[in-house]
Chains A and B, each alone.
Chain A
């Protein structure tokens, strides 16, 4: 009985992850936990004492406002890193993609398996954050479960195009720059820490077209049961477009690089 090629490729990524998951999971849970305590409780005390906050945060405490957004930001962070160095390694260091290309697998199947793995990886990271949120009564809601696939999708919306871009690079020297000037600004300005209506007028529309803002809105809306159907479909459509567009681009770049 044959197994779909993408699943067999996924198995290899999973096998590797099994050897490193402990250190990995600890970081993925610990980091949002620290943000939650530091920002949620510390800054939260300051924010909540401000009279206009109630209206600005739509009746949520700052802790409630911030916490679900961390599901989306964590997915973004982990997925971005997973699609930079590991992708370069697959071409240049461990050369896993070349090994796969020498087998009957096609570049499409190789990218399919990678995308499947990146989705898994994103969901794992979001689930870690969800577990942390479940510890607090303020965020322990049934909607938390719904926020997991939303957060997962956010990660994939980053992983797919970044993977394609990494596949076009010959060297990893620009990778830290991507994180510093691409991912970190999104983390700060993507609506996780405050409503984007607080941004300068010229910055707000930019924030709206990035995947992160849509992911943050989905997770927050889901956790607090405030997500309208039309709104949810809209956000998901944007994220799916990034994911599928990135995946199509990846297939092309992998095909190009593996068949040189």
Chain B
């Protein structure tokens, strides 16, 4: 007889962690919302939402596509497969300037290599800027989305080198150094509302703007989560387990969003 219970991995539960992350992304989208989508799992989340609970959401892509209805998995935000069936095509000025900056985007998805307790993101450099240990791609559209969408959802894999006390470069502002900081910097709205990782889901306290654990994924222990955050993470007394994928979510994700496993693996 086993002496201790080993939490079962998501794989043994019949789904992958990437699948759960894409499903959690989809659940952040409400019906009728305008959603700014980035490459990878957020594209799958957007497509899944559109096929399930949020049929009237509008997906926009920074390359210039408005209300995309792709029939295959897009390779990137500029994939030509996003064009047929969309409602309008422009370029970066139309999407960033006329829709995002004006305040017409409800939720934007971004990723990161490092994050701090206030949800500030680094996708630029690990180490000193002028002597990088690892040079990363930079902002792309992330700074614009994180600055100007009404709320942002952050998606990344999690470990203690990524969830750090102090990030090496603020590529995209989260809540900066706490309450009132975005307003002081002159940002017109927005801020991170959720962080989705391979271990759990996090939100931000309304008064302190600090990240807290909302739910751990099925089979992930809270201690494992604490071990993968470099600061003393706030864990409420009543933390729950993330709702597992439904059969319908998994079926639609696998058959309609990423049948070849481009991003789901």
The reply to whether chain A is a binding partner of chain B is no
**Chain A residues near B (Cβ < 8 Å):** none
